[in-house]
Amino acid sequence: MAQTFDLTTYLDRYRRSVETSLDSYLPMGYPEKIYEAMRYSLLAGGKRLRPILVLASCELCGGTPEMAMPTACAVEMIHTMSLIHDDLPAMDNDDYRRGKLTNHKVYGEDIAILAGDGLLAYAFELVADRTPPEVSRERVVQVIALLARSVSAAGLVGGQVVDLEMEGKPDATEEMLNYIHQHKTAALLEASVLGGAILGGANPSELDLLRQYAQNIGLAFQIIDDILDITSTQAELGKSVGKDEKAQKLTYPKLWGIEESKIKAENLITEAKNILQAFTDRAVPLQALADFIVARTN
């Protein structure tokens, strides 16, 4: 597997599978406006990294993509909710996302808030109702609890609150920055990896290794995000650039400089890949996905 694995083909295959499933799971309904707004952001493209991590970790632990696809799509719905709400004027006030106008710019702030709420609620319904019967209900409940915590005040919401509180504060510390991104960014990536693993039947020691892997790639992902906000263009990123500096946010490049930040991200990825050596060649897809995180340009 290590010799024949092609990450580009792997990403393309699973991205298309996720896109098809998202479209199928969320058809148009009434009231049309809210379904249109939900689909507008959910189907706007993107790397689909989080759902692919769900599928990859499920397979690593003995499961199938079919067992994990509802959870994979649920993770993407939660992620999309966070983007819709993050772009609102009360938060980061962005006009573009994935190369398109943000949800509130098209549908208004009221519908954008409700579209995010709708996606969040449906994510949990999807895991509960559409996970195949060969997956035990105990595992399904574990995944639902895991996802709920990742988006709660103990996860994404808590990270966003501290992020807002730290804007413009010169006394923000590295510990505070790590807290923000371990919760705002890494928590959902960790839930993606662990959720897939639980569905695939991972044992406690496997879950512990995968948790360490996920925490490393989550922090590396954010470091690269901070770098790209400085070094990329809006056309490359598909969203506004330079917004961290405008908001006077503490970022990893501001703390360490761009080159040192790149080194730290690469070290985190190396450590993440080493953690997976216990899984032998079965871990090649997850190791390649870790490399993809530091190599990406958007």
| Structural domain spans, the chain | 7-295
DSSP 280: G
Provide the angle, in degrees to the nearest 10, between the axes of the packed helices 65-86 and 49-60. 150
Long-range contacts of 294-297 (CB under 8 A, 24+ apart): 294/220, 294/224, 294/262, 294/265, 294/266, 294/269, 296/47, 296/224, 297/228, 297/232, 297/236
Determine the straight-line distance between the first and last CA of the chain, rounded to whole angstroms.
28
Which pLDDT score, from 0 to 100, does residue 2 have? Answer: 45
Quote the pLDDT of residue 241.
Answer: 67
Helical spans, DSSP H, in 152-233: 156-166, 174-184, 186-200, 204-231
pLDDT at 242: 65
Instruction: Say what the pLDDT of residue 296 is.
Output: 85
Predicted local distance difference test score (pLDDT) of residue 1: 44
Residues of the chain with pLDDT under 70: 1-3, 235-244, 246-247
Predicted pLDDT at 170: 75
User: 7-295 is classed in which CATH architecture?
Assistant: Orthogonal Bundle (1.10)
Residues 6+ positions from 46 with CB-CB distance below 8 Å: 98
